[in-house]
Chain A
């Protein structure tokens, strides 16, 4: 009797254990709409947020960035900086590649070493003096201290060294990673289908199949969700408002990392004069123009990513004051007989916000011409310092404060410092922020830079933008990051 019971219990326990082991990934499939499905699945080469979004399910990056832009563990479980030029990454345990190979330290080292042959990552590679590995630690020696290097590791995936070396160029589009999804099908430019990987060593994916499709027309994106052809999509603001009245669709709105700005060429007249620049900032009615934009924008007061520790709302921030602007201009000798005239360069077409700005400036006697250029020409103008004022925007996806700081650094002429602004104090602050090991010191440098930014105004930030999404109400657990990376790793679909 006891023996039979024992056998039966052993059998039942065995079954339960087996069931636990053989637990499959969730079922269910969803279709996700992106603006574009790229032509190359290597995120380091492709340089598109959409590609990074997709591949974040297939690869693990060395380090991850959370929604507050704090660094958290990725394929590297932890890291230390024994001195200013050395970084030691301790490899995380238990990662396995889709081909069954466990992740080893040489794979982690290879993730960095291979960048030598990726021209798109030449600047990252250029910072590395040497790489070595020992046990489960990879040691990176930099040529000089650089606080943005670590953060940059959040964009670098871990690859299977032996697979990549044997596959040659095919590694990119038939990827082997350590993530919870494998690439089941890839049609370049059209579609990526990800299949949940049953042998994923950690918590398996909740949705069995992710199909990514590219639709570049914004109106059509929302219509795909409306029609039930897709379960998740980024949408325009007007569709977001429409979606509120659709009970079958959930919506989400959150800030993105898009930073729009107005920049002036400080190396030539008329904007080599700080008062003139300040007048321009005073004449910009941030709150007032917001309604003119077709998107849901919010006012920003700094080039640094809002919500991070490095961001500070400077007391010197300039607010809308047309009268003061006029006073400043008159003091500089500009009036009706000698009006201030300049051209604003843009590349995005008709801009009602800039037109309103033009009108405001006209009301204080400033003659502004708005010119639109094809992007290549625009870049040329900017690089050759041949413009006077321009409008533009960019996105800093890792929350790196050094990006914003470089806007004022002479070492980044034509890259981030497109105002060609020269201030030794800013250069000094930048160097400190870049090389200091003291977090408090870095924060202080950033704070001071943001103060100077409003006092000197080589460029002034205008708006950030909310990103809107629409999705099926049965879809839950989607992680939407401000950088635009959408993760379905923990998502569930109850249909």
Chain B
């Protein structure tokens, strides 16, 4: 198992290198002079020249790439052209907010969607189920921008219950997280409902009932556990995107997050920040995939036996034999 993980982590390296080359050259070859953009349209020639010399922008693109990679290997993410700060510092300040939004959204989404999905499956075709179909469509169609404004208007301005911007205290997290999860609540709960329904049709569910298991056990230990396995894979694969940060949320709620940072960098051709944002995303996606694969193995014994060490299996047999006696 450890060897497998190690192998997967090693495989990430060529991927990161390829991504870094593609992005660096794509940004570098696209029109627009980072120095001019950073300094403003009316910057004087000498200013631009001095800026370029400072940041190594007067060298050929290939050389710039090597300089960047060299810096990376030495552990430096470089200095932003537009903010003049070390990119590592910029990320450090924004990371917490992005992590909270990413994980918060993830947890909040499934905290509501899983029980709701199970409920919808159990109450299939009831009026509740039918209304939820319409509601889910409405909820996932709402543009998050519009929804966010509405939430602020209602809860901050009219009712004065929650703060309208910022991210300092847990009270600040409520509106942005709800805004972020809103669409997923509709979509995910219907998805889970369908998966549970599919699982419930399986023979082993009927078997469990015929064994005399209470419905609660049938639902949770038998149906849900099997229904949720594909969900783990999809969460793992999407973790990278969760971390992309919702730029819209950040702009609306004045949250200092990585989404806005990367977007601004893209607009202004702030290469070091773009590279940092992209590479971090890539790493997170790769790690997310890896975690998903591992989790799946943890949860589904059919996959687990591919990974399990032969010695472990023998140990289990001994336990079994001694248990029987």
A–B contact with Cβ pairs below 8 Å: the answer is yes
**A interface residue numbers (CB < 8 A to B):** 33, 37-40, 45-47, 119-123, 126, 172, 187-191, 213-217, 219-220, 223-224, 226-229, 374-377, 379-380, 382-383, 392, 394, 403, 415-416
List 17 interface pairs A-B (beta carbons < 8 Å), by A numbering. A39-B80, A47-B40, A120-B39, A187-B256, A189-B83, A190-B256, A213-B166, A215-B251, A223-B164, A224-B254, A229-B156, A374-B32, A380-B33, A382-B41, A394-B42, A415-B44, A415-B45
Beyond contacts A47-B39, A191-B256, A219-B149: 7 other A-B pairs, Cβ-Cβ < 8 A, are A45-B84, A189-B93, A227-B157, A229-B164, A376-B37, A379-B41, A383-B36
B93–A220 touching, CB < 8 Å: no
B46–A123 touching, CB < 8 Å: yes
B156–A120 touching, CB < 8 Å: no
- CA–CA, A38 to B93, complex, Å? 13
Q: How far is the CB of B144 from chain A (nearest CB, A)?
A: 12
B47–A40 touching, CB < 8 Å: no
Known: A123-B46, A214-B256, A374-B32. Is A223-B51 also a contact (CB below 8 A)? no
B160: chain A residues within 8 A (beta carbon): 227-228
Known: A220-B254, A224-B164, A227-B164. Is A122-B47 also a contact (CB below 8 A)? yes
B94: chain A residues within 8 A (beta carbon): 189
Q: Which B residues between 17 and 55 are near A, CB-CB below 8 angstroms? A: 30-33, 36-37, 39-47, 49-51, 53-54
B93–A229 touching, CB < 8 Å: no
A188–B83 touching, CB < 8 Å: yes
A37: chain B residues within 8 A (beta carbon): 256
Q: Which B residues between 37 and 85 are near A, CB-CB below 8 angstroms? A: 37, 39-47, 49-51, 53-54, 80, 82-85
B47–A120 touching, CB < 8 Å: yes
A229: chain B residues within 8 A (beta carbon): 156, 163-166
- CA–CA, A213 to B256, complex, Å? 10
A187–B93 touching, CB < 8 Å: yes
Closest to B261 in A: A189
**Chain A CB within 8 A of B153 CB:** yes
Q: Which of A46, A119, A379 contacts B51 (CB 8 A)?
A: A119
- CA–CA, A213 to B156, complex, Å? 17
Closest to B37 in A: A376
**Chain A CB within 8 A of B223 CB:** no
A38–B83 touching, CB < 8 Å: yes
Q: How far is the CB of B302 from chain A (nearest CB, A)?
A: 47
**Chain A CB within 8 A of B190 CB:** no
- CA–CA, A39 to B160, complex, Å? 31
B32–A377 touching, CB < 8 Å: yes
- CA–CA, A75 to B268, complex, Å? 35
A375–B261 touching, CB < 8 Å: no
- CA–CA, A187 to B30, complex, Å? 32
A415–B42 touching, CB < 8 Å: yes
Known: A213-B254, A217-B252, A383-B36. Is A416-B42 also a contact (CB below 8 A)? yes
**Chain A CB within 8 A of B193 CB:** no
- CA–CA, A217 to B253, complex, Å? 8
Which of A374, A376, A394 has the largest number of chain B CB atoms within 10 A?
A376
Known: A119-B51, A374-B32, A375-B267. Is A220-B252 also a contact (CB below 8 A)? yes
**Chain A CB within 8 A of B152 CB:** yes
A123–B156 touching, CB < 8 Å: no
A172: chain B residues within 8 A (beta carbon): 84
- CA–CA, A214 to B252, complex, Å? 10
B47–A121 touching, CB < 8 Å: yes
A226: chain B residues within 8 A (beta carbon): 157
B50–A122 touching, CB < 8 Å: yes
A188: chain B residues within 8 A (beta carbon): 83, 85, 89-90, 93
